[in-house]
Amino acid sequence: MSNWVYLGRRLALAALVLLSVSIITFFISRVVPSNPAAKWVGPHPTREQIAQARIKLGLDEPLYVQYLRYMDDLLHGDFGISVRSHQPIIEDLKIYLPATLELVVVGTIMALVIGIPLGVVSGAKKNSLIDHVSRLLAIAAVSVPVFWMALLLQLLFFGKLGLLPLGGRVDNAITIYNPIEHITGFYLIDSLVTGNMTAFRSSLVHIVLPAFCLGAFATGLTIRMTRSTMIEVLEEGYIRAARAAGFPERTILFKLALKNAIIPTLTVVALSFVYAVTGAILVEVIFSWPGLGRYVTEAILGVDFPVIMAVTLVVTVLYVFINLFMDLLQALLDPRVSLD
């Protein structure tokens, strides 16, 4: 099967998944007992106001008509209007989604920078002291509840040492005296590109603790996956031949063995990336991070179904296309993998 046929089939499957999720979320939002028209009007609505709101929101039409209109809006990039704020959801997503993605990207980079070297050394020195320590760290990173880790880190680095801030994306003074120009929504990138080094430093120190907490799970997975694959790869014949030829151990580990051992690790990390997007709620609440997690939490508490549906679709899109990207990357890095 050609690469183009495989890609077309996967894109069709991705479209089917997105369609299924849209159908499920839409009809659940209509089945769950709630009164979006009353929430749209506000506190103490009258019957006339609720009736007018139902017409405005299209709730007086048959379900299939509501769904078709909903899909037509989605295809035009319109996620609807929040029943709480009366603001277009797409405008909110432009603010909250980049904040969460920046947090997850930094956490994933931390996981790779910490997890891969530890996994390589742990696999190369099986059953040594560093191997036992690495495995213990991996188990702790996967097992420790993220909210407990976050609170401990706040207590230590803010309460005791005073080295890192308690929460937020930047200092309050930055928004007044050194505001960040919105380009990508990633404060680190935007402040660096525009030369706003004061804002860059503030963004950097604010993101360390929440990104570390969010990336801890991926770090543990990276250590364990890299270790196990390194142990298998180091038993291969070409590794023994390289050692017999006198290649330096660093070259054998990080250039020869890691090239084949890294593929399963990257797949796991990519899937944990999407998991982190959905699991960022606790971290964002604890660190007062204005991201997608806090946004959807407020929507759930306020029974704001248009927002909940929009966030669900966004996360589904991320999961589907990151999964597709990793399949293609794995086939590119490993010729033994066929696209069929």
What 3-state DSSP class applies to 219? helix
| Beta-carbon contacts of residue 110 (< 8 Å; ≥ 6 apart) | 211, 212, 215, 219
**C-beta of residue 213 within 8 angstroms of C-beta of residue 149:** yes
Query: Residue 88 forms beta bridges with which residues?
Result: 81
> For the chain, which residues make up each domain, given as ranges?
89-308
Determine contact, residues 295/244, Cβ cutoff 8 Å: no
Q: For each successive 10 residues of the chain (340 residues), what is the average pLDDT?
A: 71 86 83 71 75 76 84 85 85 90 92 91 89 92 88 92 90 87 91 93 94 91 91 85 84 83 81 78 88 85 84 86 77 59
The residue assigned the tokens 């207590």 is 155
Cβ neighbors of 61 (< 8 A, separation 6 or more) are 69
Q: Tell me which residue of 293, 337, 325 sits closest to 311, measured CA to CA.
A: 293
Owner of token pair 């089939």: 9
pLDDT of residue 340: 55
What CATH number does the domain located at 89-308 have? 1.10.3720.10
Residue 81's beta-bridge partner residues?
A: 88
Residue 77 contacts residue 84 (beta carbons within 8 Å): no
Question: What distance lies between CA 181 and its chain's CA centroid?
Answer: 23
339: Cβ contacts below 8 Å, ≥ 6 apart: 1, 3, 6, 7, 327, 328, 331
**pLDDT at residue 333 in the model:** 64
* Model pTM score: 0.84
How far apart are alpha carbons 201 and 199 in whole angstroms? Answer: 5
Report the greatest alpha carbon distance in the chain: 86
